[in-house]
């Protein structure tokens, strides 16, 4: 380092930038550690797995987790909220399962994959947003693997899960959903209830939904790994 560089490093703007960088790094570290601790603290830590009931699935694409349920099971028919003409190709509505995920509209619509993440999108979501959506996909029954987990729920557990998801839809005064087309021909985004921020993420929504059904889960699950680790 030359002597000419020392005054620059000692200047007020540079010191402020250095402090800002250290503060941001500290916040990220604290947030990450808190997320790991919150995801490790158990809720509904004991549950007998039923032999019969309604089988659901939890899927993870590396960013967002989602809950997959039958279109019609245990007296719960989703077709009063999710309609075939909401998607680009109504033929996909013939599939027997729906995948639900909740989150900030901009984050969801702009980041279908890790490669689509931008700093602006992350900062916008972290600051908080009342513009939230439910992402709904019409899909065949999933095959469990490293990114898809299967859970058998009792009928009453499934109905509690369904009630939680249904309450996440923002309805018009006459009880209808509001949707826009999704990533492809088989999915759509629906206006949702709730505020998204750093503490209420798409993955914490999944965790709350599963806890509401009685599934063992961490008390705060801001990351996809926090959810999947319990399943």
Residues 103 and 14 occupy one common structural domain: no
pLDDT number for residue 37: 85
Among 60, 49, 58, 56, CA closest to 71? 56
Residues 65 and 25 occupy one common structural domain: no
**Confidence check: pLDDT of 5 > 60:** no
pLDDT number for residue 7: 54
Domain that holds residue 27: 5-39
Residues 169 and 79 occupy one common structural domain: yes
**Confidence check: pLDDT of 206 > 80:** yes
Among 231, 178, 171, CA closest to 206? 231
Question: In this predicted model, what pLDDT tens digit does every residue of 86-112 receive, in sequence order?
Answer: 999 999 999 999 999 999 998 887 776
Residues 69 and 97 occupy one common structural domain: yes
The torsion defined by the Cα of 159, 162, 167 and 171, in degrees rounded to 10, comes to -120
Residues 137 and 68 occupy one common structural domain: yes
Judge residue 170's burial from the number of C-beta atoms within 10 Å of its C-beta, 0-12 exposed, 13-18 middle, 19 or more buried. middle
The torsion defined by the Cα of 46, 47, 49 and 55, in degrees rounded to 10, comes to -120
How far is Cα 28 from Cα 35, in angstroms, rounded to an integer?
10
Angle, vertex CA 14, rays to CA 9 and CA 15, nearest 5: 90
Total domain count for the chain? 2
The two three-digit tokens of residue 194, written as one number: 């709730």
Residues 91 and 31 occupy one common structural domain: no
Question: In this predicted model, what pLDDT tens digit does every residue of 167-199 receive, in sequence order?
Answer: 999 999 999 999 999 999 999 999 999 999 989
pLDDT number for residue 14: 66
Q: How far is CA 34 from CA 123, 198, 199, in A?
A: 19, 12, 10
């Amino acid at each position: 380092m030359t002597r000419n560089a020392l005054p620059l490093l000692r200047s007020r703007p540079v010191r402020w930038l250095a402090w800002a960088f250290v503060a941001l790094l500290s916040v990220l570290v604290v947030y990450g550690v808190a997320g790991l601790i919150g995801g490790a603290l158990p809720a509904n830590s004991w549950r007998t797995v039923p032999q019969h009931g309604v089988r659901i699935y939890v899927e993870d694409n590396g960013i967002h987790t989602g809950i997959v349920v039958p279109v019609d099971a245990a007296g719960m028919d989703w077709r009063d909220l999710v309609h075939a003409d909401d998607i680009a190709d109504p033929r996909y509505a013939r599939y027997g399962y729906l995948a639900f995920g909740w989150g900030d509209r901009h984050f969801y619509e702009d980041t279908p994959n890790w490669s689509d993440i931008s700093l602006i999108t992350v900062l916008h979501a972290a600051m908080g947003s009342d513009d939230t959506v439910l992402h709904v996909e019409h899909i065949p029954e999933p095959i469990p693997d490293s990114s898809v987990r299967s859970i058998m729920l009792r009928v009453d557990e499934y109905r509690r899960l369904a009630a939680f998801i249904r309450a996440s839809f923002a309805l018009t005064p006459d009880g209808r959903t509001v949707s826009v087309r999704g990533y492809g021909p088989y999915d759509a985004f629906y206006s949702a209830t709730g505020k998204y921020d750093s503490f209420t993420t798409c993955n914490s929504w999944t965790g709350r939904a599963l806890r509401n059904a009685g599934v063992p889960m961490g008390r705060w699950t801001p990351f996809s790994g926090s959810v999947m680790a319990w399943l």
